[in-house]
Amino acid sequence: MDEYGQGIWRYVYSMTRNTAVADDLSQEVFIQAYQHLSQFRETSSMKTWLFTIAKHKCIDYFRSAFVRRVTFHARMDDVSDDSVEERVIASEQRNAVWAALFQLKPDAREVVLLHTKEDMTFKEVGQVLGISETAARVKYHRAVQKLQRMLGEGGRRR
């Protein structure tokens, strides 16, 4: 899978928290992009165009009658050289961050995920979400502040 494919899959997975759904929706993103390649306007990058399609696929998925709620599944990293205790603590901290992230409104969560996990600039985030670069910066700043309040010191929830 190429760079865009992995990024799209990670984004869709971070929104749905379901590997099978992420596989299906990611495939649909590229099928739709291929079918509408002639409509791609080079006013934005291919990356932002693909992430915009992915965003709309996620919205459609969550609007469907089939989906009633999102289930959070903690993701364990690959086995490392850390002790069991260190891995458990790191896992608990990751779980706390993900749980707090999923308490944010979807638009705030998207800004954080696109900027931090997908390394998009605020201009690119704005293009994907259909908002200005300034609005993306403000949403990100507010979301990070809220996450900090929810997590408190040391990444633990209050």
Render pLDDT for 10-60 as a digit per residue (tens, 0 to 9).
888 888 878 888 899 999 999 999 999 888 888 878 888 999 899 888 878
Q: What is the pTM of this model?
A: 0.56
Tell me how crowded residue 71 is: count the other CB atoms within 10 A of its CB: 7
All residues at 6 or more sequence positions from 32 whose CB lies less than 8 Å from its CB, including other chains: 53, 57
Residue 79 has pLDDT above 70, yes or no: no
Q: What six digits make up the tokens of 35?
A: 């079918």
Q: What is the DSSP letter of 64?
A: S
3-state secondary structure of 75: coil
Percentage of the chain modeled with pLDDT above 70: 78
Residue 102 has pLDDT above 60, yes or no: yes
Res 13: pLDDT: 86
Residue 67 has pLDDT above 50, yes or no: no
Determine the Cα–Cα distance for residues 34 and 130; give it in Å rounded to an integer: 22
What is the average pLDDT across 90-108?
79
Give the pLDDT band of residue 81 (cuts 50, 70, 90). Answer: low
- 157 versus 3: the higher-pLDDT residue is 3
Taking Cα atoms as reference points, which of 136, 70, 72 lies closest to residue 108? Answer: 136
Q: Taking all residues of the chain, what is their mean pLDDT, rounded to a whole number?
A: 78
Q: What six digits make up the tokens of 140?
A: 């990100």
